[in-house]
């Protein structure tokens, strides 16, 4: 995996087990999959076998940036692996950093619009569904809703920037 410094610059690489064991800063490429009209987002439940935040809900397809990999390529790869979505344009949305228990990550978030079939990677995703953005926004501020912590922070920032840009979410 690519290892980052706290400011978001790549400074080296390390095996996944070391990154996890030492809670090293690393990168993530993620995609917020939206319906074609932008009114709904795809939400999924992680499998109970995930190494971090097992069984939690998530609204981003994403994963760690490999050594030498571009975050956009990572996001594209993860979208294909986790949700079976390929050939869709990605639009850069934001980069956000999360520093919490067991996870220190710089996430490069992209948006994609999709109307086709979603096919889950069974090792990572147990189930999934489309959720109206208004409902997702309400749930994202509910501490009892089991959303992955870094995704909760990232989602709230996405909503904040979307409102500020006049996209009206």
In SS3 terms, 30-75 reads as: EEEEECCCCCEEEEEEECCCCCCCCCCEECCEEEECCCCCCHHHHH
Q: What SS3 state is found at 107?
A: strand
Provide the whole-model pTM. 0.94
pLDDT of 54: 95
Task: Give the chain's end-to-end CA distance (angstroms, integer).
Answer: 34
pLDDT of 167: 58
**169 domain-assigned:** no
53: which 2 tokens? 């935040």
**6 domain-assigned:** yes
142: which 2 tokens? 């509910």
**38 domain-assigned:** yes
Place of tokens 């909503």: 159
Q: Can you tell me the distance from the alpha carbon of 152 to that of 158, in angstroms, rounded to the nearest whole number?
A: 10
**66 domain-assigned:** yes
| Residue range of the domain that includes 115 | 2-164
pLDDT of 166: 63
**31 domain-assigned:** yes
CATH number at residue 44: 3.90.79.10
**7 domain-assigned:** yes
Residue 118's CB is within 10 A of a number of other CB atoms, namely: 17
Kindly give the confidence (pLDDT) of every residue in the chain, 169 residues in length, as a single tens digit, with 9 standing for 90 and above: 999 999 999 999 999 999 999 999 999 999 999 999 999 999 999 999 998 899 999 999 999 999 999 999 999 999 999 999 999 999 999 999 999 988 999 999 999 999 999 999 999 999 999 999 999 999 999 999 999 999 999 999 999 998 876 655 4
Q: What SS3 state is found at 51?
A: coil
**93 domain-assigned:** yes
**87 domain-assigned:** yes
What is the number of structural domains in the chain?
1
């Amino acid at each position: 995996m690519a290892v980052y410094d706290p400011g978001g610059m790549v400074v080296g690489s390390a095996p996944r087990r070391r990154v996890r064991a030492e809670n090293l800063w690393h990168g993530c490429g993620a995609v917020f999959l939206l319906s074609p009209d932008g009114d709904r987002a795809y939400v999924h439940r992680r499998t109970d076998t995930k190494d971090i935040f097992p069984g939690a809900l998530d609204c981003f397809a994403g994963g760690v940036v490999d050594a030498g990999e571009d975050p956009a390529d990572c996001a594209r790869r993860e979208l294909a692996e986790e949700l079976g979505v390929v050939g869709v344009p990605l639009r850069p949305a934001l980069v956000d950093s999360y520093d919490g228990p067991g996870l220190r990550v710089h996430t490069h978030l992209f948006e994609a619009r999709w109307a086709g079939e979603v096919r889950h990677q069974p090792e990572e995703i147990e189930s999934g569904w489309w959720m109206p953005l208004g409902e997702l926004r309400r749930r994202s501020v509910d501490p009892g809703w089991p959303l992955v912590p870094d995704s909760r922070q990232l989602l709230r920032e996405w909503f904040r920037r979307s409102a500020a840009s006049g996209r009206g979410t």
